[in-house]
Structure 1
Amino acid sequence: MIKFFRRIRQQLLTENKFSKYLLYAIGEILLVVIGILIALQVNNWNNESADRDKEINILTEIKRNLEVNMIQFSAEIASQDSIIQNIDIIMGQIKNNIPYHDSLGTKYASIAWTEEFNIANSAFETLKTLGFDLISSDSLRENVIHLFSIRYIRISDVIKKVSSTEHTQLNTVYLRHIEYDKRGNGIVNDFEKLKKDAEFINMLSSRRIWKVDIINTYKELIEESLQLSRMIDRELKIRE
């Protein structure tokens, strides 16, 4: 092809047809420019296609993380609800002056359990590396960032701070009356003293309130995670 165009140029110059040669040269330049533009456009299409594939993959992974988180949040709700029930039983025992017995050991042990906030966020960390602009939908991008970098982090910080404060309280008030046996059950050393310890009873009440707050928070996070998961489903369906 290159030899063909060179032969035409040489023929035009030999025949001294400069004006035709000039027009031909301009046409050849235009063809080259058009070829470059087409190549650039094809390259852009390929890059956009690769980015969309990356976007689909990352959104799919974020959705999986959300599913894992919702399962964990549901498990935490069940766990915290069980502790609330144990606190109610213990407070009822104290209020009604019911003697301590070994069957209450696991219940006394459970009220000392501190909370942890664990989430699956590997996809979000990958997204931060690739760049948030990889998600083309503005509203979806904003919701992903808000949930993972604001809501999840804020709740994690609150739980860590409250758990740290309660851990100090448990070390003084809780261990004043309770010790653990080899099986990890909580054994009351002197139930009569425990019943008269207003600080211990206040600790039970405050922990119950905190547990209720945690459950409500996890329910909110499940709803927010579910809404984001549905947004991702809609976006993925558009790209099918």
Structure 2
Amino acid sequence: MIKFFRQFRQCMIKENRVSQYLLYAIGEIVLVVIGILIALQINTWNEGRKSQALVMVRLSELVQDLELDRWHFDYHLRLAEAENHRIDSIRTLLSDGSADQEVLMRMIKNGSGFLTRLQWVMIATTEFPQLHQKTLLSLQNSGQLAIFDHELQESIGSFYGFHQKYSFMIEEIMKEKNIVHADFVRSVPYDPNPEASKLNAVLVEQLWSKVDEAEAGRSYITLLNTFHELNTKTIFFNSMRLGKTKIMIDEMNAVLHSVDGVEEDQKEASEL
């Protein structure tokens, strides 16, 4: 084909058909330019599809991380609410005048049904969940945050900045609970497993006989009141984090649906 057009041009030159040759040359140039533009358009379209596919993959990963975070925030919120409900029940019992010092000491010895050491360790190690930031860190380290539009980048940055602030606050609450609990444990021969202690009942009674019951009671009441106050803060902070996370998930899902819709339109257009 190329050989044919070359012979055609040479023939027009030999026959001195310069004007026709110029028109032909211009037409050939126009065709080449059109071909290049089409190729560039196809390449741009392909790159756009790759970029959109990457956006969908990375956004889906972020949503998965946020769904895990949302579950944790909800779990810890409910944990604090349940603990406060138990504290309220104990405080009601202690305040109605029917519970004497003996009842109070029995509650302390039995761990009051929720302050055993095993449960406290569970609370302390799960109350301050680390955010699932694997995808975010990967995006930051690879520079792929730039694949998202500016508005979404701003939303992501603001969202994680918000969580860092509230994570710090909840971490401080956890430290306070540890301090208060440690003070209480030092005031009594606190047993993490009352059932197992039945094997050493004599030794346990000897230890408890040396306890200042009035001081132990005050320490226990302080523990309950402080835990209730700190749990109330935890409930508030986790409610805020839960709400923000839901909003961020909805925003990302909206972008995912938008990108998916664009891909469907492009696919239909290419088939026409």
- The TM tier, using the shorter chain, reads 0.7 to 0.9
Equivalent AA in structure 1 for residue 132 of structure 2:
A
Match of 1:192 in 2: 214
Aligned-pair CA distance for 1:106: 4.4
Equivalent AA in structure 2 for residue 154 of structure 1:
K
Hey, what's the Cα distance between the residues in 2 that align with 1:3 and 1:68?
A: 65
Match of 1:124 in 2: 136
Name which of 95, 105, 117 aligns with 1:100. Answer: 105
* TM-score normalised by L of structure 2: 0.71
Secondary structure at 1:13's aligned position in 2? helix
Match of 1:48 in 2: 48
The residue correspondences of 1:196-215 to structure 2 (distance < 5 A) are 196-197=218-219, 201-215=221-235
Aligned-pair CA distance for 1:65: 2.4
Match of 1:66 in 2: 66
CA contact (8 A) 1:87 1:208 kept: yes
Match of 2:171 in 1: 160
Cα shift readout 1:206-240 (whole Å, capped 9, x = no counterpart): 33211111112212222222222223333333333
Hey, what's the Cα distance between the residues in 2 that align with 1:196 and 1:52?
A: 63
Which protein has greater RCO, CA pairs closer than 8 Å, 6+ apart? 2
CA contact (8 A) 1:86 1:108 kept: no
Q: Does 1:27 align with 2:27?
A: yes
Equivalent AA in structure 2 for residue 122 of structure 1:
K
Hey, what's the Cα distance between the residues in 2 that align with 1:48 and 1:156?
A: 38
Pick closer, same or farther for the CA change 1:229–1:76 going to 2, 3 Å. same
Secondary structure at 2:190's aligned position in 1? strand
Deviates more, 1:177-186 or 1:68-77: 177-186
CA contact (8 A) 1:93 1:99 kept: no
Match of 1:235 in 2: 255
Hey, what's the Cα distance between the residues in 1 that align with 2:36 and 2:114?
A: 75
Q: Which runs of 5+ in 2 are unaligned?
A: 198-203, 262-272
Equivalent AA in structure 2 for residue 107 of structure 1:
F
* TM-score normalised by L of structure 1: 0.79
Hey, what's the Cα distance between the residues in 1 that align with 2:192 and 2:181?
A: 17
Pick closer, same or farther for the CA change 1:196–1:103 going to 2, 3 Å. closer
Cα shift readout 1:69-100 (whole Å, capped 9, x = no counterpart): 22221211221123223434555566543233
Equivalent AA in structure 1 for residue 104 of structure 2:
P
Pick closer, same or farther for the CA change 1:185–1:220 going to 2, 3 Å. farther
CA contact (8 A) 1:90 1:108 kept: no
Hey, what's the Cα distance between the residues in 2 that align with 1:124 and 1:34?
A: 42
Aligned-pair CA distance for 1:61: 2.6
Q: Which runs of 5+ in 1 are unaligned?
A: none
Match of 2:201 in 1: none
Match of 2:8 in 1: 8
Pick closer, same or farther for the CA change 1:62–1:46 going to 2, 3 Å. same
Hey, what's the Cα distance between the residues in 2 that align with 1:32 and 1:21?
A: 16
Aligned-pair CA distance for 1:37: 1.6
Cα shift readout 1:12-69 (whole Å, capped 9, x = no counterpart): 2333434443443333223222211211111111111111122222222322222222
Cα root mean square deviation, aligned: 3.2
Hey, what's the Cα distance between the residues in 2 that align with 1:210 and 1:185?
A: 31
Name which of 127, 135, 154 aligns with 1:142. Answer: 154
CA contact (8 A) 2:63 2:252 kept: yes
- Name whichever structure is richer in helix by fraction: 2
